[in-house]
Amino acid sequence: MNGYDAFEWSMFFLFLVLTGLGITAGYHRLWSHRSYEAHPVVRVFLAFLGACGLQNSILIWSSDHRRHHKYVDDNEKDPYSAKKGFWYSHMGWILRDYHRGEKDFSNVKDLQRDPVVMWQHRNYLMLALLGNSVLLIFIGWLHGDLWGVFLLAGLFRIILNHHFTFFINSLAHIIGKQSYSEKNSSRDNMVLAFLTYGEGYHNYHHCFQCDYRNGIKWFHFDPTKWFIWGLSYIGLTSKLRKTPKIRIEKARLRMQYLRTVQCLEQGFAPANLKLSLEDSYVQFQEALVAFSKFKKEWVQLKKAEFQEKWEKTQLKMQYLELKAELRVQKQKWRMLYSMLSRSKEFG
C-alpha cells in the first residue's frame, strides 16, 4: 500500500464517497423511498454514480429493496432476510441467487415511468464501464500511474462500498438498539452510520422509511441527509419528507414502555411502581395525542387564513396549555424511566 501516492488516495476517497452517495442518496432515498424530489441534473448525476457503484440498475436495486421492506424477515419473500443468517443477508443472497426467475417489477411501476431510471437501466453496462474503466484509466494516464488509480479508486473502492451496503442488510439487523419498533430485526447502530454514509440508524428507517433522514438528531452522522438538505438550499432538491415529531415520540415512548415492563416483570418490582409506570405512560400518550390533534386544527385554521381569529380567541391559550402539559408529562416519564433504568430490577 506504500506505493500509492496522495493523488491516488484522494481519487480513492473522492470516488468512494461519490459512488456511495449515488447509492444512498440516489438508489435508496430518492428512488426506492421517494423521500424527496431532485432536479433532472441531480437525478442523472446520481444515476451515473449509482451505476459506477456496480450494485445493479436503479430499477432492479429498488425493486429488491421495496420487497425487503414489505416482507422484512420473511425467509421466502425478503430478498436478503436476516433470519437466514449473517452470511446470507450480507452477500449469500447475491452469490446463490435464491428464488429468482423472471424479474418481477410490479412494485416499481412508478420507476418504470421515470425516464432517468429507464435510461440508466437500458444503458447500465455502458455507464458502469465508462465510470469504472474509461474514466479511471484516463485519470490514471493523466497522473502517470494508470494501475495505481485503477486498483485503488476502482477495484478497492468497489469492494469496500459493496461491503458497506451489505453491512446494512446484515449487521444492521443483528447489532444495535430497537429504539422505535420491535416488529422486525432492524437495529440502530451509530458505528455503522460512519461506514454507510448515515444509513446505520436502521430501526428508525424501517419504522419511518419515507423520511429523507436516517439520523434525526443534530449529532447523528448522516452525510446523505446533509447532502440532500444542502442541495435543497440551492434549489436542486425539494419536497424533503420528514416524519412528524409526534409520531416519532409516540414510537420511542412505546418502545421504552415495552422494555421497562419486560424488565419489571422479570424482577420483583412493587405493584405501585408498575401502576406508576402505566399511569405515566397513558398520561404522556394522551398529552401527545391532544397536542397533535390541536396542531392539525391549527394548520387548518392557518390554511383558512384565520390568523386574526387565532389572536382574538382562546386558541393561543389552549395551545400554550397543551404544550406545557406535554412538557410536564414528558419530564415525568423521563424521570420515572431513568429511575427504573438505574434500579436493581434491571441489573
Model confidence at 1, pLDDT cuts 50, 70, 90, reads very low
Please check whether residue 160 lies inside any domain of the structure.
yes
- Are 234 and 249 found together in one domain? no
Task: Say which DSSP state 219 is in.
Answer: T
The pLDDT of residue 246: 82
| Residue 159, H or E segment | helix 157-169
Long-range contacts, 334-343 (Cβ 8 Å, 24+): 336/276, 336/277, 336/280, 337/256, 337/260, 340/260, 340/263, 340/264, 340/273, 340/277, 341/260, 343/269
Lowest-confidence segment of 106-115, 215-224, 280-289 by average pLDDT: 280-289
Cell triple for residue 176?
A: 444495535
Specify whether 130 is located in the same domain as 179. Answer: yes
Instruction: Centre a 10 Å sphere on the Cβ of residue 245 and count the other Cβ atoms it contains.
Output: 13
Same domain, 80 and 200: yes
| Helices assigned H by DSSP within 237-270 | 245-266
- 1 within domain boundaries: no
Last residue of a domain, one of 238, 268, 295: 238
Supply the pLDDT for residue 222.
97
CB neighbours of residue 312 within 10 Å: 10
Do 36 and 182 reside in the same domain of the chain? yes
Tell me the torsion sign for CA atoms 205, 157, 7, 3: positive
Residue 255: predicted pLDDT: 82
Mean pLDDT of 121-136: 96
Contact predicate 227/21, CB 8 Å: yes
Backbone angles phi, psi at 127, to 5 degrees: -65, -40
The total domain count for the chain is 2
64 and 130 share one domain: yes
What pLDDT does 340 receive?
A: 60
Structural domain containing residue 193: 6-238
61 domain residue, yes or no: yes
What mean pLDDT do residues 207-233 have? 96
Q: Is the dihedral of CA 116, 118, 122, 128 positive or negative?
A: positive
Same domain, 340 and 192: no
Q: Model confidence over 302-327: pLDDT tens digits? A: 655 555 555 556 566 666 665 666 66
Contact 68, 78 (CB under 8 A): yes
Q: What is the mean pLDDT of residues 35-52?
A: 98
pLDDT per position as a tens digit, 258-314: 777 666 666 555 555 565 666 666 666 666 666 666 666 656 666 555 555 555 565
Res 55 pLDDT > 70: yes
Q: Are residues 91 and 230 in the same domain?
A: yes
Mean pLDDT of 207-216: 95
Mean of the pLDDT values across residues 231-238?
97
Residues 171 and 253 reside in one and the same domain: no
Among 214, 238, 262, identify where a domain stops: 238
- How open is the CA angle 98-104-105, to the nearest 5 degrees? 135
Beta carbons within 10 angstroms of residue 249's beta carbon: 17
Pairing of strands 37-38, 237-238: antiparallel
In the chain, what percentage of residues exceed pLDDT 90? Answer: 59
- Domain co-membership, 339 together with 254: yes
Q: State mean pLDDT over 93-121.
A: 84
Residue 217: Cβ within 10 Å count: 9
Whether residues 178 and 282 share a domain: the answer is no
- Residue 137 one-letter amino acid: I
Question: Does some domain include residue 339?
Answer: yes
Q: Vertex 8, ends 18 and 227: CA angle to 5°?
A: 20
pLDDT tens for residues 15-24? 999 999 999 9
- Cα–Cα distance between 105 and 115 in angstroms, integer? 16
Q: Give the domain-ending residue among 220, 238, 256.
A: 238
Cα 156 to chain centroid, rounded: 25
